[in-house]
Amino acid sequence: MRPTRTSTLLWLTLLCGGCATFHSSRSAPGIIDVTTPPRAPASRDVELPVDPGEHVLMWNAGVLGGGGVSVAPQATGSNTHASASFSGETSLHLGWSDVSNTRDRSFGYTDPGTAVGINLGWTGGTSERVSTNAGYIEVEASNRLLYSIAGGWAYDAPRGRSGPQATLSVGPFYARTTTMLGSGTAIELGVVIKVPVIAYTWSR
């Protein structure tokens, strides 16, 4: 079970942990409509502009590791074994938030709010797993990098196997099922660590 060039690149990407955020110079500080009457005409306080919100294009990278069971079909029934896996993953997400400058409110990391994107990854596993060396691509929907659901396709080139894959993440934990058509299914639980690498933000 040797890492491919793609998996090596994914692991090296993690060395860039932390988020370099670039803001569009055309982003507006707030929404002001001079034709709309004040919300509280009798108040002498300054009425602040409406927050314009924020759009984020973000590149993330991370690792996943866990274990579970692999179920392989046999002529006399199913053959079930304990298995383990680890993955390197990189993602590109487009997000939007009702609040701008989320980096100032999220421990120094830009918060993409609600986002959709694409995951590219590589998974290695123990010999009992239905796939021990597979690349994958997933479409993912997430909320604040805390909750996400993804679905896509995995391809084990050395064994000539492929099939659907689905991943659900809640905080630092994930559940994943990978089916190699005609070869079996792996069902696993584990821990995921993903960090923003580069983000580009703009408002309006």
Cα 195 from Cα 189, distance rounded (Å): 20
Summarize pLDDT for 66-88 with one digit per residue, the tens. 999 999 886 555 688 899 999 99
Cβ-count burial 158-171 (b if 16+ within 10 Å, e if not): eeebbbbbebebee
Report how many domains make up the chain: 1
143 pairs with which residues across the strands? 114, 147
Residue 128 lies in a domain: yes
Whole domain around residue 149: which residue ranges? 62-93+114-193
Residue 16 lies in a domain: no
Residue 158 forms part of a structural domain: yes
* 192 vs 203: CA distance, rounded Å: 30
Q: What share of the chain is helix, strand, coil (3-state, %, to 5)?
A: 10, 60, 35
Closest CA to 4 of 85, 127, 121, 152: 121
Is 41 within a domain?
Answer: no
Residues in the chain: 204
The whole-chain average pLDDT of the chain stands at 82
pLDDT-wise least confident of 96-100, 155-159, 161-165 = 96-100
Would 183 be classed as within a structural domain?
yes
Q: Flag whether 13 is in a domain.
A: no
- Residues 181-199: pLDDT tens digits? 988 999 999 999 988 888 8
Residue 47 pLDDT > 80? no
> Does 15 map to a domain?
no
